[in-house]
Structure 1
Amino acid sequence: MACDASQLAPLLGNATDAADYICNQFVDAGYAIDNTYLLFSAYLVFAMQLGFAMLCAGSVRAKNTMNIMLTNVLDTAAGGIFYYLFGFAFAFGTPSNGFIGKQFFGLEEVPQAGFDYSNFLFQWAFAIAAAGITSGSIAERTQFSSYLMFSSFLTGFVYPVLSHWYWSGDGWASAGRNLGQSLLFKSGVIDFAGSGVVHMVGGIAGFWGAFIEGPRIGRFDHEGRTVALRGHSASLVVLGSFLLWFGWFGFNPGSFVTIFKSYGPSGSINGQWSAVGRTAVTTTLAGCAAALTTLFGKRLQTGHWNVVDVCNGLLGGFAAITSGCAVVDPWAAIVCGFVSAWVLIGLNTLAAKLKYDDPLEAAQLHAGCGAWGILFTALFAKEKYVNEAYPGRPGRPYGLFMGGGGRLLGAHIIAILVNIGWVSCTMGPLFFILHKLGLLRISREDELKGMDLTRHGGFAYVYHNEDPGHRQLASFQLKSAAARVDPSTPPQAAEPNDA
């Protein structure tokens, strides 16, 4: 903030004018700091799209890499347009009713107090994250055109309406609803950064897509036994997981939206900046605990140390802590991560028994661990932190295990059921209609050959020697000709279930 003495000097003769000038400059600086913080958080959350892309690419077979990468780009682009036209208005258009917003279509009347362009960018990044989760569940067997339809519908309507219920000041289940107006146990739902709003929505939608489509060809043999269709690159899975971890530091701490806020007297270290730091710590500890628990849990189950399983466990811990990251102590975050790992392991075992196929474990990870995160918050939310994150509501319920009674737990159980019901009643019929119209799943021939070749003009990985003059020096390379080789196909004839 620049200070011009020539502007200030004439005002010093009038103490009131001088005080007004200084206060206005201070307020302007506060807006600038908070908007910069929110924009930086939005950039981190957007970087998670790269993490999703790498994770998805590594988790599918090489013959479908270009397809899954293109769907990630599509989720981002289509989500941007539809969230701009409709989604942001349905989610945060206020004043409105408790069910759906009705202002700010096409960002009309933005900016205004409390709603600047930074708010749109931040919330858009969340919306496309939900769509990215769903894409992973139906990977390797879904027609490209159907991605356009479900991604647009999810980011333009399904996700925004549900986020309005919990995150808008008008939402019927919002923890930030005006004093005395809460419609849910005089509490509302504490889903701080979206275990339910983002992760359950994406995971449940993905479940219905994968369930209606059915498993990939070869995922289960003729006797019903599970056949591993492994992703082609553990390196990309690890890269994607670390990028998602990095982005989660915007996802969870950034959900405070502002940082320039004190919780105590002037000069106190107790402020929103400290809560932001604590939230980053709880996020980290939950992921770490989940990763280590998965490491040893899967070792007992399979006899192997599997890095892909560990990465999925890590992400499950992050999905679970996202709800209560701002209102629990660090030690509780470790409990959250520990339990989330067993939730994921258990759901994956159940999925195999039920012949359910999700290439990225997205439904189990995001919906299952997200639901656990909602319950965890109702058990471990601390009174002090709840009142800091959601001020102005004396006597607000908090965690059952922390002495806060059962009202918050009751609200959160209802939230889980409502989330399942809303997404099932909207996305389930959409996938079913696409399936009946023949628009959902690709043909058997295309699936066996791989969508990169049959739908996208060629493989993502192409090995050939472009310089005929150096063919003799590259004995380890494939000879030129015009041949293109799918890296997922071994030298010997590929079996049908790995084609």
Structure 2
Amino acid sequence: MAALACSPADLLPLLGGNATSAAAEYICGRFDAVSSKFVDTGYAVDNTYLLFSTYLVFSMQIGFAMLCAGSVRAKNTMNIMLTNVLDAATGSFFYYLFGFALAFGTPSNGFIGQHFFGLSKFPSQSFDYGFFLFQWAFAIAAAGITSGSIAERTQFGAYLIYSSFLTGLVYPIASHWFWSADGWASPARADNLLFGSGVIDFAGSGVVHMVGGIAGLWGALIEGPRIGRFDHSGKPVTLRGHSATLVVLGTFLLWFGWYGFNPGSFLNILKAYGVSGSYYGQWSAIGRTAVTTTLAGSTAALTTLFGKRVLVGHWNVTDVCNGLLGGFAAITAGCAVVDPWAAILCGFVAAWVLIGFNKLAEKLKYDDPLEAAQLHGGCGAWGLLFTGLFAKQAYVNEVYPGVENRPYGLFMGGGGGLLAAQVVQILVVAAWTSVTMGTLFFILHKMKLLRISHEEEVAGMDLTSHGGLAYEFEAEEKKEISF
């Protein structure tokens, strides 16, 4: 953001014959001071917008905590709440030490960042503290996704290990590939763009949701289902969460936070498209992104509502909440580059993707208390494909300028280049997360550090690991009755 310059030598002839060089210098000095103030204001506005978006994204941690707590049985409430707190706390430490540097430490090669370890030489011309905090909020969101998949049966120490590994290494390297300006598949990289496009994963259907979902998939697969989730004949048994109230509260908090997650990924707001002074600029694109996010989630919720009514015969608020979140996870990749009508289609398909993966999970005897792998992994993958099909040329060129004839959505006339890049991202994220997190969970399993004992699982982790139950009013009521 450069200031406008004023030259006394150029200004003097314009002031007339009686003007002096001192007058020209004074006027230029005042002009430069005002120009610098406008530059300062621009930085302040953009950083305030980014920090506000960061606070919204961080509020999603409250949503994750409430959603997770409501989705597990009461005897494991303390455990899942504590793991959500530690996802944020542990993620802060390891993303500060290693994660941010591996993700955005520029200059770097296409595969891994090399600077800013422990925020050394920070802030810089490239990044300020607000950008670090925004990216940290995304990193801990990925860790929060994984915790839901392995809830109610995982040793507490395993949570600390996987959360550190995910936020300090696995997630940052994946985000470097697709979000750093140096990343090998980044749409911001002007040279060697993948299929002439690079990957468009604007706010992280792949980088955040697929990474978190696939990590959770491997954890849940290696641990196996919870005791009682399938009967002796292999039929699924519903282990209901203890509070639909907390599930709904968590869902609304996540919805609120998503307005920082998706629109906030523009990183700045004070940017004109084309001629300055027009009513249309990046602020309009931010508003459109909030609209597409809203429509995709709402459509997925309604589709799930009526779809599950037809399939199972009743209205289920928990299913609707998960459907809503599946729509959000799907639209996250293309939220900035699609029209609102396309977002409705995205949400409709996302709901059926989630329903289909849940049916498949039951057939394979896979147990995920939060449906996190199906929701974030499955719907996240659909979101990447959706972007490759429906990204609009005008929006792609606004959000990712500087590349001529950049491919856009296949169904919008942009050819198959972008769709091919999106498929590559799905395969690469799945492979990278499987190799790293799958190996970690397997090692923890072999070392007997992953799953709790049969006795602990039956009794509940709150009682065996956390000093007591989260809710004591039943015991208090019995005590009063005995008197």
Does residue 1:479 correspond to 2:473, yes or no? no
> How do 1:111-150 and structure 2 match up within 5 A?
111-150=123-162
> How do 1:75-114 and structure 2 match up within 5 A?
75-114=87-126
In structure 1, give the amino acid aligned to 2:99: G
Q: Is the 8 A contact 1:60 1:359 kept in 2?
A: yes
Mapped to 1, the partners of 2:156 and 2:420 lie a distance apart of 41
Structure 2: state its 5+ residue gaps. Answer: 1-21
In structure 1, give the amino acid aligned to 2:466: H
2:6 is matched with none
2:443 is matched with 433
Does residue 1:452 correspond to 2:462, yes or no? yes
* Shift, 1:17, TM fit: 3.0
1:344 is matched with 354
Does residue 1:70 correspond to 2:82, yes or no? yes
Does residue 1:364 correspond to 2:384, yes or no? no
Mapped to 1, the partners of 2:445 and 2:201 lie a distance apart of 33
In structure 2, give the amino acid aligned to 1:351: A
* Shift, 1:181, TM fit: 3.2
Write out per-residue CA displacement over residues 37-60 of structure 1, whole angstroms, 9 at most, x where no aligned residue: 000000000000000000000000
Aligned length: 462
3-state DSSP of counterpart to 1:478? helix
In structure 2, give the amino acid aligned to 1:25: K
Q: Is the 8 A contact 1:193 1:255 kept in 2?
A: yes
Mapped to 2, the partners of 1:127 and 1:482 lie a distance apart of 50
2:264 is matched with 254
Mapped to 2, the partners of 1:276 and 1:11 lie a distance apart of 44
| 2:405 aligned to which of 382, 385, 395 | 395
Mapped to 2, the partners of 1:24 and 1:321 lie a distance apart of 39
* Shift, 1:11, TM fit: 7.5
* Shift, 1:222, TM fit: 0.2
In structure 2, give the amino acid aligned to 1:190: I
In structure 2, give the amino acid aligned to 1:321: I
1:172 is matched with 184
Write out per-residue CA displacement over residues 348-384 of structure 1, whole angstroms, 9 at most, x where no aligned residue: 0000000000000000000000000000000000011
Write out per-residue CA displacement over residues 428-483 of structure 1, whole angstroms, 9 at most, x where no aligned residue: 010000001100000000000000001101000012788xxxxxxxxxx3215999
Q: Is the 8 A contact 1:84 1:107 kept in 2?
A: yes
* Shift, 1:391, TM fit: 1.1
| 1:162 aligned to which of 163, 167, 174 | 174
TM-score by length of 2: 0.94
Does residue 1:286 correspond to 2:296, yes or no? yes
* Pair 1:383–1:460, CA change in 2 (3 A): same
> How do 1:233-272 and structure 2 match up within 5 A?
233-272=243-282
Mapped to 1, the partners of 2:185 and 2:430 lie a distance apart of 15
Mapped to 2, the partners of 1:480 and 1:79 lie a distance apart of 44
Write out per-residue CA displacement over residues 2-61 of structure 1, whole angstroms, 9 at most, x where no aligned residue: xxxxxxxx9875443333222211111100000000000000000000000000000000
Q: Is the 8 A contact 1:59 1:360 kept in 2?
A: yes
| 2:211 aligned to which of 198, 201, 212 | 201
Q: Is the 8 A contact 1:79 1:127 kept in 2?
A: yes
| 1:226 aligned to which of 221, 236, 248 | 236
Q: Is the 8 A contact 1:138 1:209 kept in 2?
A: yes
Write out per-residue CA displacement over residues 240-270 of structure 1, whole angstroms, 9 at most, x where no aligned residue: 0000000000000000000010002222011
Mapped to 1, the partners of 2:24 and 2:367 lie a distance apart of 73
3-state DSSP of counterpart to 2:57? helix
Q: Is the 8 A contact 1:464 1:480 kept in 2?
A: no
Mapped to 2, the partners of 1:237 and 1:203 lie a distance apart of 19
1:17 is matched with 29
Mapped to 1, the partners of 2:164 and 2:482 lie a distance apart of 39
* Pair 1:55–1:482, CA change in 2 (3 A): farther
3-state DSSP of counterpart to 1:479? helix
Bigger drift between 19-28 and 287-296 goes to 19-28
3-state DSSP of counterpart to 1:154? helix
Write out per-residue CA displacement over residues 264-321 of structure 1, whole angstroms, 9 at most, x where no aligned residue: 2222011111110000000000000000000001011100100000000000000000
Write out per-residue CA displacement over residues 221-250 of structure 1, whole angstroms, 9 at most, x where no aligned residue: 000001000000000000000000000000
Does residue 1:151 correspond to 2:156, yes or no? no
What is the percentage of aligned positions where both structures have the same residue? 74
> How do 1:212-223 and structure 2 match up within 5 A?
212-223=222-233
In structure 2, give the amino acid aligned to 1:130: A
Structure 1: state its 5+ residue gaps. Answer: 1-9, 467-476, 484-499
In structure 1, give the amino acid aligned to 2:84: N
Mapped to 2, the partners of 1:332 and 1:297 lie a distance apart of 20
Q: Is the 8 A contact 1:11 1:17 kept in 2?
A: no
Write out per-residue CA displacement over residues 171-210 of structure 1, whole angstroms, 9 at most, x where no aligned residue: 0000011x2332x112100000000000000000000000
Mapped to 1, the partners of 2:399 and 2:482 lie a distance apart of 62
| Bigger fraction of residues in helix | 2
In structure 1, give the amino acid aligned to 2:122: V
Mapped to 2, the partners of 1:237 and 1:465 lie a distance apart of 24
Mapped to 2, the partners of 1:352 and 1:482 lie a distance apart of 44
Q: Is the 8 A contact 1:465 1:478 kept in 2?
A: yes
Please provide the CA RMSD for this pair.
1.5
Mapped to 1, the partners of 2:278 and 2:184 lie a distance apart of 35
In structure 1, give the amino acid aligned to 2:98: F
Mapped to 2, the partners of 1:386 and 1:200 lie a distance apart of 22
1:31 is matched with 43
2:428 is matched with 418
> How do 1:284-323 and structure 2 match up within 5 A?
284-323=294-333
Q: Is the 8 A contact 1:397 1:405 kept in 2?
A: yes
Moved over 6 A (4+): none
Mapped to 2, the partners of 1:56 and 1:167 lie a distance apart of 29
In structure 2, give the amino acid aligned to 1:131: A
3-state DSSP of counterpart to 2:360? helix
TM-score by length of 1: 0.91
Write out per-residue CA displacement over residues 138-183 of structure 1, whole angstroms, 9 at most, x where no aligned residue: 0000000000000000000000000000000000000011x2332x
3-state DSSP of counterpart to 2:306? helix
